[in-house]
Amino acid sequence: MIDETLQEQAALHALGMLSGEEATAFRAALARQPELQTLVDDLAEAAAALTHAVPSAKAPTEVLPRLLTQIRAERMRTNTTPGRGSAVSWMPWALAAGIALAASVGFIAGARVESVNTQVQVAKMSAQIEQADVERQRLATLLSSLKEERGSLEKRIADLRQRELLSQIKIATLRVQLKAYAKVAAVAVWDATSQQGVIRFDNLPPAGAGKDYQMWIIEDQNPVPVSAGIFTAESGTEFDARLRPSRPIAVAGKFAVSLEPKNGSAEPAGPILLMSN
């Protein structure tokens, strides 16, 4: 039977939240009680399952090639994989050992001429191995400098792209209109070209039963607010709400958020909570 205190520690341990001393004491308890380890593993599994509740996102295509390049570069540097030898790494040694064995057999047989020839061959092959090693080092250095160069070029391209995109983007901070929402921070980002945008919120409490938050965009030349979507905040943490206006926006002037009855309103009916200048 696992008591509540240990269950509590098991939950914190599964989330990596136990402090140094607590963690040490808990690990000692783990060693004594195998069923406690089972509980920790179960809770870690449950916590990790939360990942399934998050929308998956297409991983950037360049990460896998970069990882494989990194793995190969490390292999070249160490000539070993983590905790295991590779065929490439032991080949020169095996070759040298084989040749040495052949040379010693020739000596035992008394075939002096062959022995001399073999020794010459050994010397030649040793020189070739050394040369190959120098070449390997040169290529590793070249690869490293090319990677650096590529990295700096990629960064430059990204900077240029970002600068170009930013010129079409409007960014506005939304100010709190009601004291009850004083802790809320919100920033709107709107791309006029793609007609897409997002408002990032921090510390926005849940909308409450029967209510929805509704976002509005007010155009520069048209005072009638355009609905840009409804949502309910899940928790006090940071999150993004996508702006999806009900019709094309000519020039976005202001952004606002109001609290509306469930499923929103055709025009703002509830209190305006946040608005940009």
Partner 1 sequence: MQTGSDFAVRLHDPIAPGSSREAACMSAENPERQRDVELLARVAKGDEQAFAQFYRRTADGLFGLALKMMNDSGEAEDVLQEGFSYMWKKAATYDPARSSPFTWAVMIVRNKAIDRLRLRQRQARIVEKATTEFLHYTDTDDASAREPVRREQCAEVRAALAEIPDDQKQVVELAFFAGLTHEQIAQRLEAPLGTIKARIRRGLLRLRDRLKGADA
3-class DSSP state of 90: helix
The answer to whether 19 contacts partner 1 (rule: CB under 8 A) is yes
- Should residue 48 be labelled a site residue for partner 1 when binding is judged by CB under 8 A? yes
Among positions 231-270, residues that touch partner 1 (CB under 8 A) are: 234-238, 240, 242
Nearer to partner 1, 66 or 147 (CB): 66
Task: Dig out the tokens for 44 from the structure.
Answer: 């870690």
| Nearest-approach distance from CB 175 to partner 1, in angstroms | 14
Look up residue 44 and give its amino acid.
A
Cβ closer to partner 1: 105 or 153?
153
Should residue 59 be labelled a site residue for partner 1 when binding is judged by CB under 8 A?
yes
Q: Does 7 bind partner 1 (CB under 8 A)?
A: yes
Cα 77 to Cα 89, 134, 136, distances in angstroms: 11, 13, 9
Provide the angle, in degrees to the nearest 10, between the axes of the packed helices 87-108 and 112-166. Answer: 170
String of contacts with partner 1 for each residue 192-231, x by CB under 8 A: --x-xxx-x-x---x-------------------------
Number of neighbours of residue 252 by Cβ within 10 angstroms: 23
Question: Sign of the CA dihedral 79, 80, 82, 83?
Answer: negative
Contacts of 204 (CB under 8 A, 6+ apart): 181, 184, 186, 213, 233, 236, 239
**Stretch binding partner 1 (CB under 8 A), from 69-77, 109-117, 131-139, 246-254:** 69-77
Candidates 49-57, 115-123, 133-141, 217-225; binding stretch for partner 1 (CB under 8 A): 49-57
**Among 125, 129, 169, 233, which residue interacts with partner 1 (rule: CB under 8 A)?**
169
